[in-house]
Structure 1
Amino acid sequence: MPWWFFRRRSRGSLSAAHVADLAQPSSGWLPGEVALPRLQGSRRYLQEQPYLLPKDLGEVNRLDFQHYALRAALRGNYLAPIEQPRRILDVGCGTGQWAFELAHQFPQAEVVGLDLEQVKPSASPPPNYRFVQGDVLKGLPFDNDSFDFVHQRFLVLAIPQAAWQAAVQELARITAPGGWIELVEAGTALQDFLPSGPATQEFHTLSAQLLALRGLDAEGLVMRSLAHYLEEAGFVNVRYQPFDVPLGEWGGRLGSLLALDMREARKAVSAPVAARFARSEQAVLQLIEQAYQEWNQFRTQFHFAVAYGQKPLTR
C-alpha cells in the first residue's frame, strides 16, 4: 500500500522490529496495493464496513504483536483437539501470522487465510498457504463441508452483534463433518477490565457508545455467547474456556505485552472517538495513556474467552 497512508511511529508505539523480536521464526512483509481507503486523522480505515480498527502499517505491527501475546497467553495457537486436518481456514486472518504458523505445523494441510484485504503480503509464504479475499457477512466463497478446522479470532469489532448467530452458522456450513470450529473473542464490557480506574472507565464509556452506534457489541455479550452460537449451529463437544490475564508490568512479561497491545488498540481508534465526541485527538490519547498507567496501579485484568465445538459426523 502507498507509504503516505502510514502514520509516523510515535515514541513507545509498536514497530516492525519490536514485533519481529517476538516472532520465532520472523516473517517479513512487502507493501502491496489495496482498495482506496478512507482517511481519518493520520490513520487509514476501510469504507462501508462496520470494522472499527484501521488498516495500515501501525495496525499490521499491532496485530502481529497481539498474535505473539495471545499465543503466550494460550500457550499455543489453538485449544481444539484437532489431529491431522487436511484443510484449515482462518477467518479474518489479518496479517496471516496465525495461518502461517499452522501451515508450518501441518505441512500436509492446505491452509487458507480469508480477510477483506491482504494487508501483509509475505515475501515467502508457506507453500501450503493461500489468501482468499472475502467477507463472512456476505457469505464465504467455499463449498459446504470444506474445512476440518475453522478458526476465527477477535472479530467482535468487525461483526455487528445482530449478525453473530448467522456468521457462526456460515462457519458451520463450511466445516466438514467431524471437523472443529474455534472462536476466540475479547470482552467489551467494563466488567471485562477489572478492577478499573477513572480513566479506564471514561474511555470505556466513550468507546462503548461508538460501538453501539455501529451495531457492534458494547456489553460483552458476544464473548459470553460463543458456546451458545456453536450449540445453535448443531455442534457437539462444545467447550468454553474463559481467561483472565493481567494488564501491566505487575503481571510480568505477559502482562506487559498485553498492556502494550491494549494501549495501541485504543490509540488506533482515538481519531474516531475524538471526532464523534468533539474532543481533540490529543486529549483522547492522554486519556488512553492515563488508563495505561492505571492498569498497573489497580492491577487490572482483561477477560477473553475461547470456545470450540465439533460438527457431528451425521446431522
Structure 2
Amino acid sequence: MPWWFFRRRGGSALSTDVTGRTGGKGWRLGEVALPRLQGRRRYLQEQPYLLPKDLGEVNRLDFQHYMLRAALRGNYLAPIGQPRRILDVGCGTGRWAIELAQQFPQAEVIGVDVEQAKSTSRMPSNYRFVRGDVLQGLPFEENTFDFVHQRLLLLAIPLAAWPGVVQELARVTAPGGWVELTEGGISPNDFVPCGPATQQLLDWMGQLAALRGLDAEGVVMRSLERYLAEAGLINIQRHFLGWPIGDWGGRLGSLMALDFKEGAKAISAPVAARFGCSEQEVLKIIEKARDEWDTLQTRGFGMIAYGQKPTNS
C-alpha cells in the first residue's frame, strides 16, 4: 500500500457542534449522548450516530446493502470508468467496498469508518479497512481517490457538519474523479402517504435525531447537489429515488419495509427512554406503521447525487 494513502492532512479537524460552531476539539455530544449499552443494544459513545453498533446492526446493514443494490440495479450511478483508487466513507460492514474491490481487481479499495464492524479472512487482496472519522478529517492526502462514495449517513453526520464533510470528500478526490452521495430522509414528507402510526414513529425518531444535531426534516437529502457544488465539483447530476414500502410493492417493497422496521426497532429502547413509554409500546407502533404501509401503499423517497472534481484542481 503506497505510503501516501495514510498521511493525515495538516490543519484542524472538521468539528461542528449542534449550533454550527467549528473548532479543533472534535464533535461534542454533551448531555445528549446515548449510553454505550441500552436495553439489549450497544451504542457508540462520543459520536452523534443514532443507530447501534452491534451484531444485529451488522446483519441489518448487510441486508440493506443487498436491498439497495437490487433497487438501483447496481452499486453506483456515477460514470467512474476504471478507477484505480476507491474510497467508501462510513463503510459499515464493508460490503459495498468489498464488492467494488471484486468488480475492479486492478483498483485499491479502502473502507473507512469509526469502528470495524466485522472482519473475515476472505477479504479481496485489494481491499483494506482504515479506522477514521470524517468529522475529524479523513486520514488521506488530497487528490488521492478516483471515486469517493458515501451513503446513508443521515443519522451519523450532524446537519451543520454536512457542507464541511462534503468538502472533505472532495479534498481527497483526485482531479477528474467522482464523489457520489446517497441519502434518504426520516420526515413525514419522505413517506407518502403517511399514516398516523408512521407519523408518530417518525416524530419520535426525528426528535431523537434533532437532540443530536442530526437532520430530521429532509434538508440533507434535498441539499446534496448544493453541497457538491459548494465543494467545487462540476458535472453534477441528481437522481430522485422512489420505492414501495410494504408487501403491496412486491419483493422490493417487502425488503424496504423489513429494513425500515428493523432500523426503527434498533432505536426502540432509546425512544422509550426519551419519551417515557415502554419499549413494548414503541414496538406496537412499529407494527401498526408496518400495517399502514400496505393499507395506504406508502412509498419512500431518497436521492443520489454525484459530481466530478475539475481536472485543473
TM-score, normalised with respect to structure 2: 0.88
- Quote the Cα distance in structure 1 between the aligned partners of 2:55 and 2:155: 19
Aligned to 1:63, what secondary structure does the other structure show? helix
Q: Does 2:277 match 1:279?
A: yes
Q: Which residue of 1 aligns with 2:189?
A: 191
- Quote the Cα distance in structure 1 between the aligned partners of 2:146 and 2:264: 35
> For 1:147-181, what per-residue CA distance to the aligned partner results, in whole angstroms no more than 9, with x for missing partners?
00000010010000000000000000000000000
Q: Which residue of 2 aligns with 1:4?
A: none
Q: Does 2:138 match 1:140?
A: yes
Which amino acid is 1:189 matched to?
A: S
- Quote the Cα distance in structure 1 between the aligned partners of 2:259 and 2:187: 18
Give the drift of 1:102. 0.2
Q: Which residue of 1 aligns with 2:109?
A: 111
> For 1:49-77, what per-residue CA distance to the aligned partner results, in whole angstroms no more than 9, with x for missing partners?
10000011110000000000000111100
- Quote the Cα distance in structure 2 between the aligned partners of 1:74 and 1:203: 27
Q: Which residue of 2 aligns with 1:250?
A: 248
- Quote the Cα distance in structure 2 between the aligned partners of 1:263 and 1:52: 15
Q: Which residue of 2 aligns with 1:200?
A: 198
> For 1:57-116, what per-residue CA distance to the aligned partner results, in whole angstroms no more than 9, with x for missing partners?
110000000000000111100000011100000000000000010000000000000001
- Quote the Cα distance in structure 2 between the aligned partners of 1:105 and 1:286: 42
Matched positions, count = 279
> For 1:191-246, what per-residue CA distance to the aligned partner results, in whole angstroms no more than 9, with x for missing partners?
10010111001111111111111100000000000010000011000001011100
- Quote the Cα distance in structure 2 between the aligned partners of 1:209 and 1:117: 26
Give the drift of 1:123. 2.5
- Quote the Cα distance in structure 2 between the aligned partners of 1:175 and 1:119: 25
- Quote the Cα distance in structure 2 between the aligned partners of 1:199 and 1:136: 35
Q: Which residue of 2 aligns with 1:155?
A: 153
Q: Which residue of 2 aligns with 1:52?
A: 50
Aligned to 2:220, what secondary structure does the other structure show? helix
- Whether the 8 Å contact between 2:186 and 2:205 is mirrored in structure 1 is no
- Quote the Cα distance in structure 1 between the aligned partners of 2:203 and 2:197: 10
- Quote the Cα distance in structure 2 between the aligned partners of 1:181 and 1:111: 14
- Quote the Cα distance in structure 1 between the aligned partners of 2:63 and 2:203: 26
Q: Which residue of 2 aligns with 1:314?
A: 312
Q: Does 2:259 match 1:266?
A: no
Give the drift of 1:293. 1.2
- Aligned with residue 77 of structure 2, among 61, 76, 79: 79
Give the drift of 1:188. 2.1
Q: Which residue of 2 aligns with 1:173?
A: 171
Give the drift of 1:189. 1.4
Give the drift of 1:275. 0.6
Aligned to 1:272, what secondary structure does the other structure show? helix
Aligned to 2:179, what secondary structure does the other structure show? strand
Which amino acid is 1:140 matched to?
A: L
Which amino acid is 2:144 matched to?
A: S
Q: Does 2:64 match 1:96?
A: no
1:215-234 equivalences in 2 (<5 Å) = 215-234=213-232
Percent of aligned positions that are identical: 68
> RMSD value over aligned CA atoms?
0.8
Q: Which residue of 2 aligns with 1:213?
A: 211
> For 1:14-67, what per-residue CA distance to the aligned partner results, in whole angstroms no more than 9, with x for missing partners?
xxxxxxxxxxxxxxxxxxxxxxx8100110000111000001111000000000
Which amino acid is 2:256 matched to?
A: L
- Quote the Cα distance in structure 2 between the aligned partners of 1:88 and 1:185: 19
Aligned to 2:272, what secondary structure does the other structure show? helix
Which amino acid is 1:134 matched to?
A: G
TM-score, normalised with respect to structure 1: 0.88
- Quote the Cα distance in structure 2 between the aligned partners of 1:77 and 1:274: 35
